[in-house]
Amino acid sequence: MSELLIELFSEEIPAMMQSKAEIAYLNIFTKYFQEKKIGFKDIKIFVGPRRVVIYADGLDKEIKSQAISIKGPKVGSPELAIEGFCKSNNINQADLVIQEVKGTKCYFYEKEITTQKITDIFLKSLAEPIMEYVWPKSMYWSDYKIKWVRPLKNILCVFDEEIIPFKLGHLTANNSTFGHRFMSPKEILVKNFAEYKKDLKDNFVMLDRSDRIQEIEDGLKIKIDDLNKKYKSSYFRKDDPTLLEEVAGLVEWPVVLQGRIDDRFLTLPTEVLVASMRTHQKYFSVFSNPILVSLQGERKPFKAQETFFAPFFLFVNNIKSSDESIIVKGNEKVLSARLDDALYFYNQDLKTKLKEKSKKLDKVVFHAKLGSMKEKIDRLEKLVKFINPNANDIIKAASICKSDIVSEVVGEFPSLQGIMGYYYAKSEGKEESVAIAIRDHYKPQGPSDSVPSETSGLLALADKIDSLCGLMLAGEKPTGSKDPYALRRLALGIIRIILENQWVGHVNITKLVEESCKLYSEIINYSKNDQDQIILFIEERAKNYFKDKFDNSQVNASVDFKLEPSLVATKYKLQAVEEFLSADEGKDLLKYYKRVSNMIGSANINPDDKIDSKIKLLSEEKELLKYVENNDVENNSDSLMHWEYKDALKKLSPIKVILDNYFEKVMVMDKDPSIAKNRLLILAKTKRLFNRIVNFDLL
Amino acid sequence: MKKLSSEKLPEEIYQKSFQMIILKLQNFWSEYGCAILQPYDMEMGAGTFHPATVLRCLGSKPWNVAYVQPSRRPADSRYAEHPNRMQHYYQFQVILKPSPENIQDLYLESLKILGIDTKVNDIRFVEDDWESPTLGASGLGWEVWCNGMEVSQFTYMQQIGGIDCRPVAGEITYGLERLALYIQGKDAVKDLDWNGQTGEKALTYAEVDFEAEKQFSKFNLEVADVEILTRHFIDSETQCKQLIEANLPMPAYDYCIKASHLFNLLNSRGVISVTERASYIARVRNLAKLTCNKWLEIEGYNV
C-alpha cells in the first residue's frame, strides 16, 4: 500500500477560505481516484495559511491489466457509423467482434488495457484535480499563466518517497517545503507524510487546523485562568467558533497573549467594544459575572443575567517572541486608536436625536423600485397601527427604528444596526419598551436566532412583512438557490414571530399582506395575482416550517391560508389532525371519506347545486342529506382554536353509521341519470363537509 | 564601565525620524533597482492614483518605481484632534512589474532596514482585497500587520480602468505615519519626530502639518463651496473627454484625478445622496476607463 503527499505552498491564503477548500478538495480527490480507478483507503486535506496539503493513504501501486468491451453500432448500420466507431477508438474494422445484446447483433471492440503504473497516471494528470477547485477569488501574478488564490510558490509531491515531478503552470513538483515564515524559513526535504508532519512541527508549523484551534483554546483558557487568579475574579470568554476559525487560519504557530483596555473606553456599549475588537483586530473579549463578597470576605460568582465587559482582550499571534511585551504594547496601542475612533463616532451620534436622524433617511435607498428608508418607516408606522392600533410604544418605535442606519457607528459597523438604535433611544430618555423594539426588530436573523418578544415582535413583524411584500412586488422573488434579499429567511421570520408569540386573534396573513401591498400602491403597480403570489410564498414557507414537526401529507392537507389565514390556528388544526388520525376512529373515518370520494370519481359536480326536490329520496339518503345540511356551516371567517378543530373532526364521527346504511341500501349509479346525478350531488356535499376542515384528499 | 542610561542618543533619534524612514525606504528600493520618482503634483486620495501606478501598471513593459505620495481624504478630516486619522497624510508607494518571485521577502527585508525585527514582532499578512470603484481597479492581497497595526497594503494589481493587467504588478503601500508611530514608540501622529534634531531645529509632525490639517478640515467639512465644486466637477469631466478626443491621455488623466478629488470633497460636505454617489463614482470610473484605453492606444497596444 502506498501513500501520496502533495503540498501546494503559497503566499498567505485568506483565513475564511481555508475550511471550504478542505471540503472541496476532499470531494475532488475522491472523485479523481474513483475516475482513474485508483484504489485508496483514506484522503486527508489540510489547508492552512501557507499550504494546501493533500495526503492519500492505502493507494494502489498500479492498475492491473484488464479488458473492457466497448459497444459499437448494430450489425448492418451504415458504413459511416461503423467507420466512425473504429476511428474514435483508433482501430480497424478487422478488430471488431460481433456479440448479441438483447437479441440484436452489435459490433464490439475488446479493448486491452495494459498495466499502468500509478506514478505515470499521477505524473500525467495530478495537475487536473488541483486546478479543478475554483477559489472564491483567485488571481494572476507576475507574468505566469495560472490562477490561484494567492501566488503559488512551490509544489511538493512524493509518492512512496519518490518525487513525482508533475508540472503545473511554470512550476514542477519537487520534494521541498519550508518552515515557519519567521521562526524557521529554511528549506526542508521531505520523504513521507510522517516525517513531513514532524519536520513541520520542528520548524514551527502546526499542519492540522484542529490542532491549531485546540492550541488557541488552551492558550485562551490559560490566560483567563491567570487573570482570575490575579484578580480573584470570574472572568470568562464567550464561544465564538467563527473568530476561532478565522484566527486559526491566520497563524501557523499560535501563541495567545493578553492585553489591557484603557478604562475610559468602558463607557462604550459592549457591542461596540466587541465589534471594534473582533471585526478589525480579531481579538477575543473577556467578560465577568458580578461577584458577591460575603462578610467573611469570601468571593462568590453572582448568578445574574448581566455580564460585564472586562478591561482585557486576548489575541493570537504567529510567533514565539523573545519579547512579548513589545507585541502586547503594540496591540494595546492599536486597540486604543480603534476605540478612540469608536468613541468619537459614538459621541458624535449622541449629539443628534433619533427623530432628527430619521430625516436623513430619505437619502438612504431601501430598494431602487421601492423608494427610501424614510418611506419605509412611514409605512411601518401605518402597518403597526393596522396590526394593533393600541400599541402606542411600538408605533412610536416604528418612526425611529431605522434612524441608527445614518449614525456614524453603524456606518463603521453595519452589524450593529438596531443595537445602536437601542442605546441612542435610551440615551435620549425613551421608554425601555421602545428601545427594545428598535433593538430587536431585525430579529430573528436566522433559524438559530431567537424571536423578539410579544411587544417588540410587532415591529419586527411589520418590518418583515413590509420588506417581503415590497421586494416581491419589485420582482425580487427568489429563484432556485438565488435569494439575494433573503426573502425565504424573511418569511420564516414572519412565521416564527407569529407562532412563537402565539398570536391568535389579530394576525391574519391574508389581510396583513393585502394591507402591506396597499401601502405600496402609490409607488408600484400590482395585480391581485401579485398579492396572491406573496401569500402563497408565505404558505409554502409555512409548510416547510411545519414539516419539521408534523407529517408531510398532514401539513400539505392542513396548511391553506384561504381556509385558515391564521398561523396559530393552522398549528392547532395540525395538532388536531395529528391526534385525530393517530386514533382508529380517525383512520376509519378517512376510509369513509375515500370511499365517498372514489364514488364521485371524476364526475364534475358543483356541491352548491340544489337537490332536485321532484326526485324522491330513500330514507338512508334523506338521513345523510339531513346530517350534511345540519353540520355544514358556511366558511367561518373566525379562526378555530385547537379544541374547536378537534371538535369539528369529532363531529364527523356519526357520519360513519349513516354512511354504512347509505352504502348498504343506496345504489348511486341509478339507471335513471337524473337520480344518479342527484345522488352524486349529495355525496359531493358530503365530501365538502369533510374538506371544510382539512383537505382529506391529501391525507 | 558602560554607562547604563535610558536616555536616547541623538543618533538613535535621528535614525528613527519620519524623514529618515522615507530616506531609508528610498535607499532600499533604489538599491533594488527601482526608479525613485517624485510625488505627483495634484490632490489625490492615495499613491495608487499617481499616473506612475494607474497608467504604467497597464501594458507589458517592465516598470519598477518607488515614490512618496502625499494623500488627501477629505472625509477623514478631524481638525487635527484624532490621534491618527487625518485628511492629509503620506504614503510610500512601490510598484514592481512584473511582480518578482520574492516580493514578500523584499518587503520584509525593507521592514528590517527600518528597524523592525521580524523575529520579535508579530508580522501578519491578513486578507484584504483592494478595490477602487472610481478607478475601475481591483487587486488581491493583504494588509500587513505589525503587532496588530496595519502598516502596509500589499496588492497584486489585477485590473485598472476595467482593463486586465498583464503581466501583474505588485504594489506595496507603506502607511508612513503608522510605521513611524511604531518605530518611534509614539501614541499620536502629532508627536512624531519629523527631522530627528534636538533643540531649535527639532520639528514634530504637528509643527510641520497640523495647522494645514486644521484649516483643511474646516474647508473640507464646512466651507468648501458646493456650487463651485459641482461646477468644477462638470468642467473637469468635460475637459478630460476633450483631451481624450485630442489623443492626450496624460493631461486627460489629470482631469480624471481632479474629478475624483472634487467628488471626495462633495462627499465630505455631506451633500451627496446614496444614489447620486453611485452616479458620481460611475462618472469618474468612465473617465478612468477612457483614459486608460487611450493611454494603451497611444503606447501602441491593441485595445
pLDDT in tens, A413-428: 888 999 999 999 999 9
Give the length of chain B. 303
Kindly state the percentage of chain A with pLDDT values over 90.
58
The answer to whether the Cβ–Cβ distance between A140 and B168 falls below 8 Å is: yes
Of A143, A168, A202, the position where a domain reaches its end is: A202
Residue A372: all three cell numbers together: 427610501
Per-residue model confidence (pLDDT) at position A686: 86
Most confident of A447-456, A572-581, A656-665, B55-64: B55-64
Specify the DSSP class assigned to residue A126.
T
Give the length of chain A. 699
Per-residue model confidence (pLDDT) at position A613: 76
Residue A30 lies in a domain: yes
Structure confidence by residue, pLDDT tens digits, A182-232: 999 999 999 999 999 999 999 999 999 999 999 999 999 999 999 999 998
Residue A557 lies in a domain: no
Confidence of residue B106 (pLDDT cuts 50, 70, 90): very high
Give yes or no for A529 touching B (CB within 8 A). Answer: no
Instruction: Give chain A's domain count.
Output: 5
Confidence of residue B265 (pLDDT cuts 50, 70, 90): very high
Same domain, A108 and A155: no
- Has residue B282 got a pLDDT over 80? yes
Same domain, A225 and A337: yes
Q: Which of the two residues, B288 and A80, has the higher pLDDT score?
A: B288
How many angstroms separate the Cα of B59 from the Cα of each of A39, A140, A427, A599, B296? 48, 15, 57, 81, 7
Kindly state the percentage of chain A with pLDDT values over 70.
96
Query: Which residue is closest to A143 within chain B, CA to CA?
Result: B167
Buried b or exposed e, range A429-459, using 16+ CB within 10 angstroms: ebeebbbbbbbbbbbbeeeeeebbbebbbbb
Same domain, A379 and A311: no
Structure confidence by residue, pLDDT tens digits, B2-56: 444 555 568 888 999 999 999 999 999 999 999 999 999 999 999 999 999 999 9
Same domain, A20 and A77: no
Q: Which domain holds residue A435?
A: 358-548
Of A331, A350, A369, the position where a domain reaches its end is: A350
What structural domains and CATH numbers belong to chain B? 10-219 (3.30.930.10), 225-298 (1.20.58.180)
Burial of A581 (C-beta count, 10 Å sphere; 0-12/13-18/19+): buried
- Has residue A36 got a pLDDT over 80? yes
Residue A556 lies in a domain: no
Same domain, A620 and A675: yes
What does the pLDDT average to over A291-314? 71
Distance, CA of B75 to CA of A282 (rounded, Å): 26
Same domain, A122 and A228: no
Residue A147 lies in a domain: yes
Most confident of A122-136, A228-242, A584-598: A122-136
In Å, how far is B84's CA from the nearest CA of chain A?
7
Residue A564 lies in a domain: no
User: Which stretches of B133-200 are assigned E, i.e. beta strand?
Assistant: 137-146, 149-160, 163-164, 170-175
Give yes or no for A364 touching B (CB within 8 A). Answer: yes
Same domain, A538 and A475: yes
Structure confidence by residue, pLDDT tens digits, A663-699: 888 777 778 888 888 888 888 888 888 888 888 888 8
Contacts of B147 in chain A (CB under 8 A): 317, 326-327, 329-331, 334
Residue A465 lies in a domain: yes
Mark which residues 253-292 of B lie under 8 Å from A by CB: 273-275
Distance, CA of A21 to CA of A25 (rounded, Å): 6
Structure confidence by residue, pLDDT tens digits, B150-206: 999 999 999 999 999 999 999 999 999 999 999 999 989 999 999 999 889 999 999
Distance, CA of A382 to CA of A384 (rounded, Å): 6
Same domain, A303 and A421: no
Confidence of residue A304 (pLDDT cuts 50, 70, 90): low
Give yes or no for A291 touching B (CB within 8 A). Answer: no
Per-residue model confidence (pLDDT) at position A116: 85
What does the pLDDT average to over A421-443? 94
In Å, how far is A367's CA from the nearest CA of chain B?
11
Residue A603: which H helix or E strand, with range? none
Residue A569 lies in a domain: no
Per-residue model confidence (pLDDT) at position B1: 44
Per-residue model confidence (pLDDT) at position A601: 81
Same domain, A543 and A597: no
The answer to whether the Cβ–Cβ distance between A12 and B168 falls below 8 Å is: no
Contacts of B148 in chain A (CB under 8 A): 281, 315, 330-331, 334-335
Per-residue model confidence (pLDDT) at position A405: 92
Contacts of A322 in chain B (CB under 8 A): 119-120
Same domain, A169 and A304: no
Q: Which of the two residues, A595 and A641, has the higher pLDDT score?
A: A595
Residue A544 lies in a domain: yes
Neighbours of A348 (CB within 10 A): 12
Of the listed ranges A272-281, A633-642, A687-696, B51-60, the one predicted with least confidence: A633-642
- Has residue A504 got a pLDDT over 70? no
Residue A95: all three cell numbers together: 478488430
The answer to whether the Cβ–Cβ distance between B187 and A336 falls below 8 Å is: yes
Helix, coil or strand: residue A437: helix
Which of A9, A13, A139 to substitute to test the interface with B, most B CBs within 10 Å? A139
**DSSP characters for A522-550?**
TT----HHHHHHHHHHHHHHHHHHHHTTS
Give yes or no for B178 touching A (CB within 8 A). Answer: no
Instruction: Share the mean pLDDT of chain A.
Output: 90
Residues whose CB falls within 8 Å of the CB of residue B56, separated by 6 or more in sequence, listed in order:
B63, B65, B95, B97
Of A350, A377, A406, the position where a domain reaches its end is: A350
Query: Which residue is closest to A18 within chain B, CA to CA?
Result: B127
H/E/C letters for each residue in A88-108? HHCCCHHHCEEEEECCEEEEE
- Backbone φ and ψ for A457, nearest 5 degrees, come out as -60, -25
Helix, coil or strand: residue A185: coil
Per-residue model confidence (pLDDT) at position A301: 54
Which of B60, B86, B127 to substitute to test the interface with A, most A CBs within 10 Å? B127
Residue B65: which H helix or E strand, with range? strand B63-72
Same domain, A411 and A486: yes
In Å, how far is B243's CA from the nearest CA of chain A?
32
Neighbours of A517 (CB within 10 A): 21
Same domain, A482 and A382: yes
Give the number of A-B residue pairs with CB atoms closer than 8 Å.
109
